[in-house]
């Protein structure tokens, strides 16, 4: 059980004072029946809690786990430089969950501004660490459109390993195959800076467009349009965390 104002605060609806005001002004309702509540100190069970804030339906989530279909032209940064932040694609409460200096969901790894595809976000620090730590070898699948026609030699070299300019140790693709003459699918378990682009450059080609289609067992569905997000299901969260223990 939690006080209603604390529930709103934990879900990112502002400071406790702001959350208190939302309740007192009659802007918060509880349950599918949208029962009104004007007392911010009301104790409410968070189990399967559905609530409404200013007419928008929310489901209480102790921790946030999201997938976003990232479009091109967005930076995975809270303080972007040239392009808008990917966080602007999310509603305000998800960017403010928990309050404090590290409020809101954070990207689980990053994609370049011109790269599209699957991006995970969460406010669970342990989950983010497990998914991004090199020792867990979480596979990520990319589709790269390349400038020059592919050949078997390029694919073989990517599988065998190539040396990047900042690391004498060869890096290799866990899996790599040509989809067509100008598109390859590559699976990596590392997360070096611009890794796909630099690996493909090392075999004499150039990435023209890059898309991430999967992280571990989680595959980006065509049902999620570019720029849209959704909550991960409990089953998806469980299988992701099981794979990286």
What beta strand segments (E) does the chain contain?
Answer: 2-3, 28-30, 35-36, 43-44, 50-53, 56-59, 65-70, 106-107, 115-122, 140-146, 162-164, 167-171, 175-180, 183-188, 207-215, 218-219, 229-231
The CA distance from 116 to 113, in Å, is 8
State the burial class of residue 48 (Cβ atoms within 10 Å of its Cβ: 0-12, 13-18, 19+): exposed
Paired with 212 in beta bridges are: 117, 142
Q: Which of 112, 123, 151, 222 is catalytic?
A: 112
The pair of three-digit structure tokens given for residue 71, joined into one six-digit string: 């479009």
Would you tell me how many other CB atoms lie within 10 Å of the CB of residue 228? Answer: 12
Q: Is the dihedral of CA 239, 216, 167, 153 positive or negative?
A: positive
CA-closest candidate to residue 165, choices 191, 135, 137, 192 = 192
The single residue listed with the structure tokens 């501004």 is 113
* Active site (annotated) includes residue 112: yes
The CA distance from 233 to 64, in Å, is 11
Q: Which H or E run includes 236?
A: helix 234-243
Q: Any idea which residues carry the catalytic annotation?
A: 112
């Amino acid at each position: 059980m939690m006080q209603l104002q604390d529930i709103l605060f934990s879900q990112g609806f502002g400071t406790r004072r702001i959350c208190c005001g939302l309740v007192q002004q009659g802007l918060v309702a509880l349950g599918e029946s949208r029962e009104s509540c004007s007392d911010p100190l009301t104790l409410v069970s968070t189990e399967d809690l559905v609530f409404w804030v200013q007419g928008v339906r929310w489901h209480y989530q102790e921790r946030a786990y999201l997938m976003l279909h990232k479009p091109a032209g967005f930076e995975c940064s809270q303080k972007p430089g040239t392009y808008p932040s990917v966080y602007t694609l999310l509603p305000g409460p998800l960017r403010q969950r928990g309050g404090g200096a590290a409020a809101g969901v954070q990207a689980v790894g990053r994609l370049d501004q011109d790269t599209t595809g699957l991006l995970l976000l969460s406010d669970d620090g342990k989950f983010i660490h497990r998914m991004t730590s090199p020792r867990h070898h979480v596979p990520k699948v990319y589709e790269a459109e390349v400038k020059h026609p592919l050949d078997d030699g390029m694919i073989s070299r990517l599988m065998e390993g190539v040396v990047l300019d900042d690391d004498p140790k060869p890096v290799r693709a866990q899996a790599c195959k040509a989809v067509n003459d100008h598109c390859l699918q590559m699976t990596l378990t590392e997360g070096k800076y611009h890794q796909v682009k630099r690996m493909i450059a090392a075999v004499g080609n150039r990435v023209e467009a890059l898309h991430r289609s999967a992280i571990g067992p989680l595959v980006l569905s065509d049902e999620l349009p570019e720029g849209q997000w959704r909550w991960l299901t409990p089953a998806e969260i469980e299988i992701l965390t099981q794979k990286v223990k």
